[in-house]
Structure 1
Amino acid sequence: MASAAAERVGRGGQMMGLDANEEMLSVARRKHADIEWRAGQAEALPFEDQTFDAVISQFGFMFFSDQPRALQEMMRVLRPSGRLAVAVCDALDHSPGYAVFAELLHRLFGERVVEAFRAPFASGDSALLLAACDEAGIGEATVARHDGRVRFASIDALVSTERACAWTLGGVLDDSEFERLQDKAEESLRPFVNADGDVDFLMPVLILTATRP
């Protein structure tokens, strides 16, 4: 996301990226040395008041420990008329492929594992997002749904991607359990495989936007 934003900003502007994980920042710095990367928490942004024209967050908000506080911080570092945009995954049941995958996880491994997988979808509710804005003192925020699609080269690629995510399944399943999941996923996810062998299904997102007065 930071890389795409930097391209939009161009040479006439400045882009800064923030992450709480030093290992992720090390990877980001190797890939995009032209972006200034900072370590920090969303709930305590390491920037002065009214620093930025825009603040964006993509698929991280659902993991913030204090979402209203994070929103307050984002608004604090915006200049007057600055724009805020926060993207989160919509509800799990709105993404058919991942909904089936969640049911498979529940059948194979039980509630603890499927709850870990559901975590990225936890903020997929417009009412919850707007309630967080109200608590943060942000008026006239809006939430819009955008329908995107998930595409993987194969079912194996989908499972491997989930395995690499330490936030969810990578932290709860061992090697033998992933082998079992890979085997069973071939049958459960077959309806989402197209003629080329790719996996393709709907995955909507919710985008919260607001402007600092």
Structure 2
Amino acid sequence: MEAVLNEAVSLLDEAGVPALTFRALAGRLGGGVGSIYWYVSGKDELLDLATDHAVGPLLAELEARPDADDPIDELRTMAVRMFDAIVVRPWLAAYFMRNSLLQPNTMRLYERLGQVTLRLDLTPRQRFHAVSAIVGYTVGTAADLGQEPPREVVDGEVGREEYLARFADLWRGLDPEQYPFVHQIADEFAHHDDKDQFRAGLDLLLAGLRLEAEG
């Protein structure tokens, strides 16, 4: 099973979900398509198991870390590591925690986040909402930023800065009375760093959680 999941993750990393077919997987393993069915019932189960397999090293890393003195700092560190792991593997986002029966690693990661909130003065509902918000923001943002760049950027026809500058120029050309916000942030958009943007949003979310816990 370990070999099956290792090769499944490799195929997903190389070309995403469309690349993960039983025929391609069997070819990697040097066997027939029928042999894959000894391990999984179909592609959906394989995707869930491959996702959990890919999350395993992240979970092991986080479990090995000593807890930070400040639980909010601990939540920030965990979210940033989750983001880093998913942004390079955007296929993970669609299947992350999709099936807790088949994904013990993702379930343990969710539990670990939740246990950190036990150190905060929150109600059970507030803890549930807090962890849901952190996971949703982290996974969703990583999936968005991990998408395939535009063709002209991939082909090297234009750089990232030039590509962003095109849209910033378009925004500057909009009616400032109808789009005052877009006009104000156009320069920020043109030169923003995706990871900094994620961290800034995460800090806003966690600042709200701190206020709720201290209120």
What TM-score range do you get, normalising by the shorter chain?
under 0.3
TM-score by length of 1: 0.22
Max radius of gyration: which structure?
2
Higher helix share: 2
Higher strand share: 1
Taking CA–CA contacts closer than 8 Å with sequence separation of 6 or more, which of the two structures ends up with the larger relative contact order?
1
TM-score by length of 2: 0.22
